[in-house]
Structure 1
Amino acid sequence: MKKLYYSIPLLFVLLTGISCSKLTEKPESALVSEQFYLNQGQAVAAVTGTYRKLYETGQSLYNSLFQIGVEMATDDYEAGPRARNAHVRAISNLTHDASNDRMEQLWKQSYDAINASNLNIINIEAMNQNQIDATVQQRLVNEAKFLRALHYFNLVRWFGPVPLVIRPTEGLSAQELYVAKASEDEVYAQIINDLKAASSLPNYKNYGDADKGRATSGAAKSLLAKVYLTRLDWTNAKLLAKDVIDKEGYALFPDFSDVFNIDKKNGIEHIFSAQFKGNSGYQGNSLASRSAPADIPGINGDYADALHAEGGLYKSFALTDKRLSVTFTTGMISPTDGKYYALAKPQFNKYYDQTVVGNQAQSSKNTPIIRYAEVLLILAEAENELNGPTQEARDAINAVRIRAGVEKLSDTESKDSFRELVFEERRKELVYEYQRWFDLVRRGANYYITKLKTAGKTNAAARHLHFPTPQRELNLNPKLVQHPDWLAK
């Protein structure tokens, strides 16, 4: 009898509809691990259940936790009038510390998802030919590796050195439960290995409607290009971005608004997204409610996520930029009294769902994790770092700009000025898509601090290039140590 592994906690939520792999299906029971992985249906359901850890209800990773736990610490966002949690407001003001409960959740939920992927990898690999088709078996293992890589990529950028756990827990000994931090290089090596394996996944066009939203070869290569970009490995970043552009079959939507059109979800530009479906077991996108106005009759928004106006993001858009009216709203017509209400300042609007006016907690708009426009900008940045602002670099960024309705860049830019233009293009293209903090910190302490202090966030300091290791984890695990930048001085 093969050995089965488990994670802590032992109960692991999976889908019970094992004959269907649709990602929007609702989990209906919790089973112990010995009941899993007995046949192909269960293996598919196990991996499907792990996708849900990206966007489960409440403040889960890609369902607002990124925003309130990370993006608030940038020049573009701040805690809105109805953000009542003191820990969220502390992040917005850059007064957070190791006791912050959002840091705890970022850490806890990421490792919970990693544990789930570890379980899937080890147990699905152990299944025999009578239990699962070999092609499906390899696909599921590689999907799990993609998800594990994504979570570790987030963790290492947020916290720096972190524990690297790639096998499920087999027992309750201190040796297994208490794991020291691995170096950033070790974590990145694992991420790269997992994504290289996942690059052999099927192309997105090979998936039917029931499997839309699963990891694909294009998703793995795109994320790997981003990993290389973060590591300043410009050669490999360009190589992978080019591979996606030339071979994977993606393209920009002609109209920017289609990126957030519910009828075009998982379309030609969407490489990998957090999947949301309103009025279906509390699977709505909470970003829609968190950013919607609270003082317009009938809208019933939370207005907990707000534009940090001092950062200048809104004013940085050209008036002709088609992204402006999709990204922001400056006023709305009340569904209750039919009157137009102007807002005191622009508010985010990408995820506002016109089909559920008055109940934005049920927004069905997906949140992009990586899309084709970003791959073009990765190519532009990497090529510029390698060879300066060549025609190839300009063509890549200009494709994004032309779609937005703004003029193409000239051929007179220097390498340094082109670099800054790429970052500004990322800023405008990827608003409210969990990218700004990552972009700021990968430019280094001086860049991050200057941007935030210019925006009036005067508490910005070098330590904010990482988040502190949560105090709760330090208390539980004697092998953990605090990030050096957060040690008391």
Structure 2
Amino acid sequence: MKNIGYLFLAGTIALSLSSCVSLDEEPSSSLVAENFYTKEADAISAVNAVYETLHYDAGQSLYNGLIQIGVEMATDDYEAGPRARNSHVRAISNLTHDVSNNRMEELWLESYKAINRANIAIDKISAISPNNISADVQKRLVNEAKFLRALHYFNLIRWFKYIPLVLHETTTLSTESLNIKQATEDEVYEQIISDLKDAEQLPAPDGYSSSDVGRATAGSAKALLSKVYLTRQQWQLAADKAKEVIDTGWYDLFDDFADAFNPATKNGKEHIFSVQYQGYSNYVGNYLAVRSATNEVPGISGENADAYHQGSDLYGSFEPTDVRRDISFVTDIVSPVDGKNYHLRVPLLNKYHDENANSNPKESSVNFPYFRYSEILLIYAEALNELNGPTAEAYNAVDKVRSRAGSSKLADVAPALSQDNFRDSVFQERRKEFIYEHQRWFDLSRRGAEYYVKMLKAAGKTQAQPKHIHFPVPQREIDLNPNLKQNPDWE
């Protein structure tokens, strides 16, 4: 599928036939859309197929390697590892990528593949006869699909800025249907917000059965909506929505930071929305674990493809008592073969390491935490600061995160920060809290080109330019669709 028009053709859609979001069976069916969507089981399978795009694909799925390549490597804290030999990957890491970069193309294609599935599910499920589906289930599934559509459009608009907005299945091969024009940023964000407001009607986290753990909830929608408002600098709306999530009482921080990345505690009280993984179960292990693992220790078959950027000051910035450093990174590994300790030359990213998959890291069962409760606290603190400066309530929100980490309270060590300095402290806290969670590039870019360039050049990535706060529209898409225009910064 190599252009926008083709992405939205009617016909067939790959559908998982499993009954829950864990999706622990490899996709095996392709069903004709017109003959599907007649009963409740069809609707469930259709929405499962939208979830599936988060973690599974014949190539690289979005949250199983692709976004890491396209986002984290283009920051001050990450780089292509020594065994990342693909020239397109290394170009992103070195900030020398261009309009023909195939990883940018894959981000575009995989995102629109997911949106295509969501669009079809929304339209077709809504049309199922009430005799064949429960009204509550029908509404819930449509709103889950809307949440996922919003998630993907939120990624796309932040990456590319100028994107087509497609909300229904394409049913003809007309030029008008295939050659879709780009929407304005406001139009895309209006749709994202509309979808998320609908998704706020989803059940609470405890409203699902155990077999449906991992689905989007009302809390997922509210949390993502707060982040959308934050990105749009709608500070009051961001603060209000984050406070709404806090006041539900649905979520809390784990006492132990490590539990956020422990397979035994996945989908726990801190997890607002996670991409689901289960190792040794038909190719749905968390591949980020093997991408960041070493191949220099006997018995560990890592890829050394995702690496900590040595020019970054992140590793050395942690207080000695801050437990996040030694959970996010590893510097010593005991070989499962010879029992010897191997000291690594450079800290390795380690959040997705699964002790039950030491010799085969790609079978990690650690979920990818798309949204954790700690982020709600930091969104709340940031928004309050932008509204009124560093209030006591803003300090308290940050210090809940710092205290759990074992770090000193900001209110104790810096009780009278200016608004600008408090903002920097919140961003530094996000930097430490969300290592290797696909947050850094979005944080740098939303603060603007000047900040992005300053931070990357300070880390030794001297190729950084203002245009790098967005990606170029893939040239292949422009060649195939004459109505697509390139981002002016990339012309």
Name the TM-score class by shorter chain.
over 0.9
Question: What corresponds to 1:3 in structure 2?
Answer: none
TM normalised by structure 2 equals: 0.96
Inter-partner Cα distance in structure 1 for 2:11 and 2:296: 45
Question: What corresponds to 1:322 in structure 2?
Answer: 323
Count residues with an aligned counterpart: 480
How far has the Cα of 1:35 moved from its partner? 2.7
Which amino acid in the other structure matches residue 483 of structure 2? K
Indicate if the aligned counterparts of 2:453 and 2:466 stay in contact, CA closer than 8 A.
yes
Which amino acid in the other structure matches residue 277 of structure 2? F
Indicate if the aligned counterparts of 1:297 and 1:336 stay in contact, CA closer than 8 A.
yes
Match of 1:436 among 433, 440, 461: 440
Question: What corresponds to 1:23 in structure 2?
Answer: 22
Deviation track 1:140-181 (CA, whole Å, cap 9, x = no partner) reads 110000000000000000000200000110111111111010
Question: What corresponds to 1:212 in structure 2?
Answer: 213
1:138 matched to 2:142? no
Which amino acid in the other structure matches residue 449 of structure 1? V
Q: Residues 373-452 of structure 1 correspond to what in structure 2 (within 5 A)? A: 373-410=374-411, 411-452=415-456
Indicate if the aligned counterparts of 1:23 and 1:51 stay in contact, CA closer than 8 A.
no
Question: What corresponds to 1:479 in structure 2?
Answer: 483
Question: What corresponds to 2:354 in structure 1?
Answer: 353
Indicate if the aligned counterparts of 1:36 and 1:46 stay in contact, CA closer than 8 A.
no
SS at match of 1:182: coil
Deviation track 1:215-252 (CA, whole Å, cap 9, x = no partner) reads 00000000000000000000000010000000151000
1:455 matched to 2:459? yes
Inter-partner Cα distance in structure 1 for 2:163 and 2:172: 21
How far has the Cα of 1:34 moved from its partner? 1.8
Unpaired stretches in structure 1, ≥5 consecutive residues: 1-5
TM normalised by structure 1 equals: 0.97
Indicate if the aligned counterparts of 1:16 and 1:45 stay in contact, CA closer than 8 A.
yes
Question: What corresponds to 2:34 in structure 1?
Answer: 34
Large movers: runs of 4+ above 4 Å: none
How far has the Cα of 1:24 moved from its partner? 2.3
Question: What corresponds to 1:245 in structure 2?
Answer: 246
Deviation track 1:403-435 (CA, whole Å, cap 9, x = no partner) reads 000110122111111100000000000000000
Question: What corresponds to 2:470 in structure 1?
Answer: 466
Distance 1:22 1:53, change over 3 A: closer
SS at match of 1:368: strand
Deviation track 1:263-303 (CA, whole Å, cap 9, x = no partner) reads 11111000001111111110011110010111100011111
1:77 matched to 2:81? no
Which amino acid in the other structure matches residue 47 of structure 1? V
Give the alignment's Cα RMSD to 1 decimal: 1.1
State the structure with bigger RCO (CA 8 A, min sep 6), 1 or 2. 2
How far has the Cα of 1:25 moved from its partner? 3.5
Question: What corresponds to 2:4 in structure 1?
Answer: none
Which amino acid in the other structure matches residue 101 of structure 2? N
Which amino acid in the other structure matches residue 23 of structure 2? T
Question: What corresponds to 1:8 in structure 2?
Answer: 9
How far has the Cα of 1:315 moved from its partner? 0.7
Question: What corresponds to 1:48 in structure 2?
Answer: 48
Indicate if the aligned counterparts of 1:401 and 1:408 stay in contact, CA closer than 8 A.
yes
Distance 1:282 1:9, change over 3 A: farther
Q: More displaced, 350-359 or 408-417?
A: 408-417
Inter-partner Cα distance in structure 2 for 1:32 and 1:124: 15
Percentage of pairs with the same residue:
57
SS at match of 1:92: helix
Inter-partner Cα distance in structure 2 for 1:392 and 1:8: 50
